């Protein structure tokens, strides 16, 4: 098993081969296509990340100390970004997610998506995924 | 490019800049226009030479600032052909202008009265009325539109009754480009003694505004959408209404005498201008008016009309595209969707190509719902845009389509 | 003149100008301060390089504008030591900040509740409450002052009861220079569960503001009185109150979703920011903060304190003069009257000598009434004022006295 | 009898000898002192010109087609200015006052007092004097 750091380093390395923005975005779109199918039933308002121009849904499951995320978006670039976050964060523990360092987003050249502009969903997705981690932590880890 | 257009463009420093390594093409004028150097300099010159608080000072800077500020009011009055400077209230923007009316005017109404706004309004001409209606027990009625994005005048006539106390309507839709028939609506409304508020945010930079001719009761607009600075707006209101309406905000400037036993309010227009105004921005607005008048507002409209027709024709030719809004008698705002391509995806890639356009709901969610969509792509033109820019944009749009095919 | 002061002065282009053929001496800082070139340039650079509407655009200029705008919010948060950026609401000025609270907060109250403001308030911290009280059936109570211009804390304690829902108080009086004991007042108020609004218009450029330490619930100020642009203000509010309070103005930005069936509002701070904000002015405010921090707000305060003590001593020596306000623990606002000379007459002649000071009621008529006067002359200092300027002013004042003898 | 034009020309001529602002203001103050005594009883709120920093009162009387003004102020400069206006306008007919050209104020170098600044009373005084003229015109001249 790899950890968040290793997975994000790997993604950053994959991105480092592109010096053309178009190739980079094509790659993001490709990554999005690799996301497992997300059933329409899960595209509910409660799973929707609010405030972004594209619709993006994220769900999370807790299994044996690890969190697994799934998601989808009606916009391909947003879907690709969701997919990157899901790849990096899925399988980590609540604590790892709560404390994880998101600077890899900068390294893969997606910093513009981190802007406080509410149009894009990246900040909203990260916030939601961390909220899931906090919720699972308080639900499961104080009991154990 | 025509030499006149070169002349205009050369006044806009930002048009020389590159974004994402590409020459900036700014097609987001519906959100805010760029500023000519005359406007930018007017504001900084003010701070370098004249800065002072207005109206109350006896000293030179204060006197000169006051003269410049009140001259700006005069420019605005003449620009929209208001009868008197008392009818020109400075606010911080269209949104505040509408909120002022929504709060102050509705305080004169009775529970059960109703207000009408249209389906195609910007949130700024919906939410203030929702808040006021909720606070005062009024009803908000909706003037519906047709599928080609025109106001349904028959339906409008059918929802007017003797409890209707105001109609709020955009002069031009910020999504569809529809130019609403204000004079007709005003005639209909006035025959029922109903005043009309016109949201002029999208028209003031594109059409010659003559409030006497329109005969509307209120007209609201923002300086930043007409080559002026941010943080300045105007509310035009007929004196007979403004006189009746209570003050909106309280503070300095808007009072005649203050005491804890009872305060009396100042005359128009000051009654509605509490606190230190944005003097620099207001003076810059008069410079923006000068800029527009130097070109001629009709000339601006004509050039934009050509750009709009050209873009509409080319976009239609492109195929696999949905265009929203009327085809004729429209303004230079074009909303569209590429089939099977999310506007956010397309907008993100076009940005990489140097093109600034807007994607999303354009603060008009009820209108989006009407069309059953989550958003559109929107290009909107100003005096400095060119056919060449549209050609580059069309090329780029082709590339985007290829990427997503 | 000290070299540090020369450094500061050289940043203010307007200080080089002459008025009425004399070098400008600007002692009207209580009304508005002058602007350093960094602030002026920040605003014009914004329009030359970055201008765009914020928050909703996907394109480069919009993203960059949004980042700069939100960074400005962060600067303000840090500058006044607020806990979160959600507590920083941008408005158009102190007056609007207070009106926002006066309307929104009082909507949570019941008929018969009361609000307290002091006798020494600026009209901007009186009239909004009068309007709100009238609209909602609340009572406005007056915290009285002593003849040396200090708040009468005993009387304040005596008018607080269990229907008291808010106390509004100036941090510093714009007439007397009195620095009110905010922490003491807050402690008294909080022990009765009453929130406190501090009008910081006159303190923010002169004292280090720490809202966590003051523990006030609201703090309002204007950029233009702290070396920033006109048309920008701040309302700090504790999140627990802002969360409870309904929106003030409606429009773009402040909503989450709009429909005619029901609209939901955005999160803090956006819930209170309807319409296109003054992005350029807000960015310039962060530059004004940088200017102040580069000198050090404590240093500014110290220099102003020296100027104030010097001027107070010399004015006292002059004789035939009435000084208002406390002698110690005061700010750099000095109000006075020359015996038998009308302030307007003196102000008019001093203006001819190049001196900009303020005469009149200073938007504090209840305070004028308390002292039984129609107005005062007021000088007020900022970071760029000098002992030499005070000397010239005193000389000029002597001349004025001779003219009227 | 002189008319408004002649009286204002004369005042402008008197002022033209001063090239020093101090002399000019000393002269204004002197002119103020020449105003006939204005009884305290007439210093009522209804005679007060509103909005200026100094208190200034103006009254008017109509006699045989002519209007005669009186006034006072607690500020000497304002009193001087009031006195100038009273000298120029007193004795004129309502029509003359309603239509009179105030450009002499510019010529005597008092333009700054004409600013829309509400601090000074000049605009308010002129407005009030013209209002008196309008009132007298409608009261007397339509009857005659
Ligand atoms: C104490 C005080 N409060 C409020 C204000 C009003 O500020 P603004 O006019 O910027 O809204 C002022 C400024 O004159 C002031 O001195
Ligand atoms: C039609 C319309 N009304 C109102 C507004 C709001 O203008 P502002 O944000 O300047 O207050 C806009 C701007 O987006 C608009 O397009």
Contact B129, B140 (CB under 8 A): yes
What would the pLDDT profile of D28-44 be if each residue is shown by its tens digit?
999 999 999 999 999 99
pLDDT number for residue D119 = 57
**B404 in contact with A at a CB cutoff of 8 Å?**
yes
What is the ipTM for the molecules in this complex? 0.95
pLDDT number for residue A1 = 65
Strand bridging mode B88-91 / B114-118? unpaired
Range from A2-6, C79-83, D50-54, D110-114 that averages highest in pLDDT: C79-83
- Cα separation, D35 vs D27, in Å, equals 13
Buried b (16+ CB within 10 A) or exposed e, C89-121: bbbbbbbbbbbbbbbbbbeebeeebbbbbbbbb
Kindly identify the ligand whose nearest atom is closest to the C-alpha of C127: 1
Quickly list DSSP for C162-189. Answer: TTEEEEEEESB-TTT-BB--HHHHHHHH
- Mean pLDDT score, B108-129: 98
pLDDT number for residue C76 = 98
pLDDT number for residue D108 = 82
Could C345 and D120 be called an inter-chain contact, meaning their C-beta atoms sit closer than 8 Å? no
Q: Is B273 exposed, middle or buried (0-12, 13-18, 19+ CB in 10 A)?
A: buried
Q: Is the pLDDT of residue D143 over 60?
A: no
pLDDT number for residue C251 = 95
**A48 in contact with B at a CB cutoff of 8 Å?**
no
**D23 in contact with C at a CB cutoff of 8 Å?**
no
Domain boundaries, chain A: 4-137
Domain that holds residue B376: 5-27+297-404
In this structure, the answer to whether residues B227 and B287 fall within a common structural domain is: yes
pLDDT number for residue A142 = 64
Higher pLDDT, D123 or C335: C335
Count of CA atoms in the C-beta half-sphere (13 A) of C181? 13
According to DSSP, residue C19 is labeled E
pLDDT number for residue A52 = 79
Per-residue confidence band for D1, with pLDDT thresholds at 50, 70 and 90: low
- Cα separation, C323 vs C334, in Å, equals 8
Ligand 1 center from residue C180 Cα (angstroms): 16
Residue where a domain stops, chosen among C237, C267, C293: C293
- Which single residue is written with the structure tokens 């929504």? B102
Residue where a domain stops, chosen among C293, C323, C342: C293
Residue C282: which region, alpha, beta or left (left: phi > 0; alpha: psi -120 to 50)? alpha
- Mean pLDDT score, C304-325: 97
pLDDT number for residue C57 = 80
In this structure, the answer to whether residues B274 and B360 fall within a common structural domain is: no
In a domain? residue C32: no
Residue where a domain stops, chosen among B293, B316, B348: B293
Residue B402: which region, alpha, beta or left (left: phi > 0; alpha: psi -120 to 50)? alpha
- Mean pLDDT computed over every residue of chain D: 89
- Cα separation, C210 vs C77, in Å, equals 10
**D120 in contact with C at a CB cutoff of 8 Å?**
yes
Instruction: Tell me which of 3.40.50.300, 3.90.1010.10, 3.40.50.200, 3.40.50.700 is the CATH number of domain D4-137.
Output: 3.90.1010.10
Kindly identify the ligand whose nearest atom is closest to the C-alpha of B120: 2
Which residues from chain B sit within 8 angstroms of residue D116, using beta carbons?
A: 55, 66-67, 70
pLDDT number for residue A143 = 53
In this structure, the answer to whether residues B242 and B357 fall within a common structural domain is: no
Tell me, yes or no, if B363 is annotated catalytic: yes
Among C128, C118, C63, C133, residue whose Cα is nearest residue C94: C128
Per-residue confidence band for C304, with pLDDT thresholds at 50, 70 and 90: very high
- Cα separation, C346 vs C361, in Å, equals 15
- Which single residue is written with the structure tokens 């406080």? A116
Q: Which residues, 6+ apart, have CB-to-CB distance to C81 below 8 Å?
A: C209, C210, C211, C212, C213
Q: What lines the ligand 1 site, CB under 6 Å?
A: B 252, 275-276; C 93-95, 122, 124-125, 170, 174, 199, 201-202, 222, 224, 363
Task: Give me the numbers of helices (H) and strands (E) for chain D, helices first please.
Answer: 6, 2
- Mean pLDDT score, B166-182: 98
In this structure, the answer to whether residues B94 and B236 fall within a common structural domain is: yes
Could D118 and B56 be called an inter-chain contact, meaning their C-beta atoms sit closer than 8 Å? yes
pLDDT number for residue D120 = 64
Q: Is the pLDDT of residue A116 over 80?
A: no
Quickly list DSSP for C314-335. Answer: HHHHH-SEEEES-SSSB-SEEE
- Mean pLDDT score, B331-341: 97
- Mean pLDDT score, D71-94: 94
pLDDT number for residue C336 = 98
Ligand 1 center from residue C124 Cα (angstroms): 6
According to DSSP, residue A48 is labeled B
What would the pLDDT profile of A26-36 be if each residue is shown by its tens digit?
999 999 999 99
- Mean pLDDT score, B107-125: 98
How many residues make up chain A in this entry?
144
Q: What is the CATH number of the domain that holds B131?
A: 3.40.640.10
How many residues make up chain C in this entry?
405
In a domain? residue C231: yes
Higher pLDDT, D53 or A74: A74
Contact C273, C90 (CB under 8 A): yes
- Cα separation, A31 vs A34, in Å, equals 5
pLDDT number for residue A104 = 81
Higher pLDDT, A104 or C264: C264
Per-residue confidence band for D102, with pLDDT thresholds at 50, 70 and 90: confident
Task: Extract the tokens encoding C41.
Answer: 């340039």
Q: Is the pLDDT of residue C15 over 90?
A: yes
- Cα separation, C296 vs B265, in Å, equals 41
What would the pLDDT profile of C132-182 be if each residue is shown by its tens digit?
999 999 999 999 999 999 999 999 999 999 999 999 999 999 999 999 999
In a domain? residue B35: no
User: Strand, helix or coil at C74?
Assistant: helix
In this structure, the answer to whether residues B90 and B183 fall within a common structural domain is: yes
pLDDT number for residue B1 = 80
In this structure, the answer to whether residues C150 and C278 fall within a common structural domain is: yes
pLDDT number for residue D113 = 73
Per-residue confidence band for D118, with pLDDT thresholds at 50, 70 and 90: low
Per-residue confidence band for A122, with pLDDT thresholds at 50, 70 and 90: confident
Per-residue confidence band for A123, with pLDDT thresholds at 50, 70 and 90: confident
Count of CA atoms in the C-beta half-sphere (13 A) of D41? 0
pLDDT number for residue C56 = 79
Range from A47-56, A80-89, A101-110 that averages highest in pLDDT: A80-89
Ligand 2 center from residue B34 Cα (angstroms): 15
In this structure, the answer to whether residues C388 and C253 fall within a common structural domain is: no
In this structure, the answer to whether residues B394 and B254 fall within a common structural domain is: no
In this structure, the answer to whether residues B127 and B19 fall within a common structural domain is: no
In a domain? residue C264: yes
What would the pLDDT profile of B212-266 be if each residue is shown by its tens digit?
999 999 999 999 999 999 999 999 999 999 999 999 999 988 999 999 999 999 9
Cis-peptide, bond into residue B269, ω within 30° of zero: yes
When divided into structural domains, chain B yields a total of: 2
Pocket test for ligand 1, best of C94, C101, C362 (most atoms within 8 A of CB): C94
In a domain? residue C33: no
Ligand 2 center from residue B172 Cα (angstroms): 11
In this structure, the answer to whether residues C196 and C330 fall within a common structural domain is: no
Q: Work out the percent of chain C whose per-residue pLDDT is above 90.
A: 97
In a domain? residue B283: yes
How much of chain D is helix, strand and coil, in % rounded to 5? 55, 10, 35
pLDDT number for residue A118 = 58
SS (H, E, C) chain B: CCHHHHHHHCCCHHHHCEECCEECEECECCCCCCCCHHHHHHHHHHHHHCCCCCCCCCCHHHHHHHHHHHHHHHHHHHHCCCCCHHHEEEECCHHHHHHHHHHHHHHHCCCCCEEEEECCCCHHHCHHHHHHHHHHCCEEEEECECCCCCECHHHHHHHCCCCEEEEEEECECCCCCEECCHHHHHHHHHCCCCCEEEECCCCCCCCCCCHHHHCCCEEEEEHHHCCCCCCCEEEEECHHHHHHCCCCCCCCCCEEECCCCCCEECCCCHHHCCCCCCHHHHHHHHHHHHHHHHHCHHHHHHHHHHHHHHHHHHHHHHCCEEEECCCCCECCEEEEEECCCCHHHHHHHHHHCCEECEEECCCCHHHHHHHCCCCEEEEECCCCCCHHHHHHHHHHHHHHHHHCC
pLDDT number for residue C405 = 83
Pocket test for ligand 2, best of C51, C275, C279 (most atoms within 8 A of CB): C275
In this structure, the answer to whether residues C83 and C162 fall within a common structural domain is: yes
- Cα separation, B32 vs B221, in Å, equals 12
- Cα separation, B333 vs B376, in Å, equals 12
In a domain? residue C35: no
- Cα separation, D104 vs D83, in Å, equals 14
Q: Is the pLDDT of residue B171 over 60?
A: yes
Among B77, B66, B124, residue whose Cα is nearest residue B283: B66
In this structure, the answer to whether residues B143 and B243 fall within a common structural domain is: yes
Q: Where are the alpha helices (DSSP H) in C83-228?
A: 94-104, 127-136, 153-159, 182-190, 211-214
pLDDT number for residue C129 = 98
What would the pLDDT profile of C341-354 be if each residue is shown by its tens digit?
999 999 999 999 99
- Mean pLDDT computed over every residue of chain B: 97
In a domain? residue C368: yes
**C266 in contact with B at a CB cutoff of 8 Å?**
no
Q: Is the pLDDT of residue B39 over 60?
A: yes
- Mean pLDDT score, B167-180: 98
- Mean pLDDT score, B27-47: 98
Per-residue confidence band for C298, with pLDDT thresholds at 50, 70 and 90: very high
């Amino acid at each position: 098993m790899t950890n968040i750091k290793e997975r994000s380093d790997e993604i950053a390395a994959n991105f480092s081969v592109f010096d053309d923005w178009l190739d980079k975005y094509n790659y993001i779109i490709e990554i999005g296509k690799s996301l497992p199918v997300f059933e329409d039933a899960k595209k509910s308002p409660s799973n929707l990340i609010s405030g972004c121009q594209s619709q993006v849904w994220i769900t999370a499951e807790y299994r044996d100390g690890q969190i697994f995320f799934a998601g989808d978006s009606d916009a391909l670039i947003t879907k690709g970004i969701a997919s990157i976050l899901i790849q990096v964060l899925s399988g980590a523990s609540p604590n790892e997610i709560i404390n994880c360092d998101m600077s890899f987003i900068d390294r893969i050249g997606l910093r513009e998506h981190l802007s406080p502009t509410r149009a894009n969903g990246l900040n909203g997705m990260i916030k939601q995924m961390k909220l899931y981690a906090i919720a699972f932590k308080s639900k499961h880890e104080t009991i154990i | 490019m025509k030499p006149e257009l070169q002349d205009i463009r050369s006044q806009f420093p930002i048009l020389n800049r590159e974004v994402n390594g590409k020459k900036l093409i700014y097609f987001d004028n519906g959100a805010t226009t760029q500023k000519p150097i005359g406007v930018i300099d007017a504001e900084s010159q003010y701070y370098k030479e004249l800065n002072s608080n207005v109206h109350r000072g006896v000293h030179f800077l204060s006197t000169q600032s006051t003269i410049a500020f009140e001259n700006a009011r005069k420019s605005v009055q003449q620009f929209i052909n208001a009868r008197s400077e008392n009818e020109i209230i400075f606010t911080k923007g269209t949104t505040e202008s509408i909120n002022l009316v929504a709060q102050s005017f509705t305080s004169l109404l009775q529970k059960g009265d109703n207000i009408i706004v249209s389906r195609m309004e910007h949130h700024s001409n919906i939410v203030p009325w929702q808040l006021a209606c909720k606070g005062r027990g009024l009803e908000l009625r909706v003037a519906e539109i047709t599928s080609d994005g025109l106001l349904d005048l028959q339906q409008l006539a059918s929802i007017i009754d003797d409890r209707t106390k105001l109609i709020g309507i955009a002069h031009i839709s910020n999504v569809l480009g529809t130019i609403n028939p204000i004079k007709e609506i005003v005639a209909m409304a006035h025959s029922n003694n109903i005043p009309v508020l016109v949201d002029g945010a999208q028209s003031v930079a594109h059409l010659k505004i003559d409030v006497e001719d329109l005969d509307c009761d209120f007209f609201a607009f923002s300086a930043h959408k007409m080559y002026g600075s941010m943080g300045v707006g105007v509310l035009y209101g007929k004196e007979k209404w403004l006189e009746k309406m209570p003050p909106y905000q309280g503070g300095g400037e808007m009072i005649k005498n203050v005491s804890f036993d009872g305060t009396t309010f100042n005359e128009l227009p000051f009654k509605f201008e509490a606190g230190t105004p944005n003097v620099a921005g207001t003076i810059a607005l008069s410079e923006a008016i000068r800029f527009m008048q130097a070109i001629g507002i009709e000339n601006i409209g004509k050039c934009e009309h050509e750009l709009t027709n050209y873009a509409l024709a080319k976009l239609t030719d492109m195929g696999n595209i949905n265009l929203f809004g009327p085809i004729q008698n429209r303004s230079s705002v074009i909303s569209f969707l590429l089939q099977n391509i999310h506007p956010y995806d397309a907008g993100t890639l076009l940005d990489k190509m140097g093109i600034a356009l807007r994607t999303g709901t354009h603060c008009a969610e009820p209108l989006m719902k009407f069309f059953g969509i989550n958003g559109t792509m929107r290009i909107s033109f100003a005096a400095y845009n060119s056919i060449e820019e549209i050609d580059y944009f069309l090329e780029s749009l082709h590339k985007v389509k290829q990427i997503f095919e």
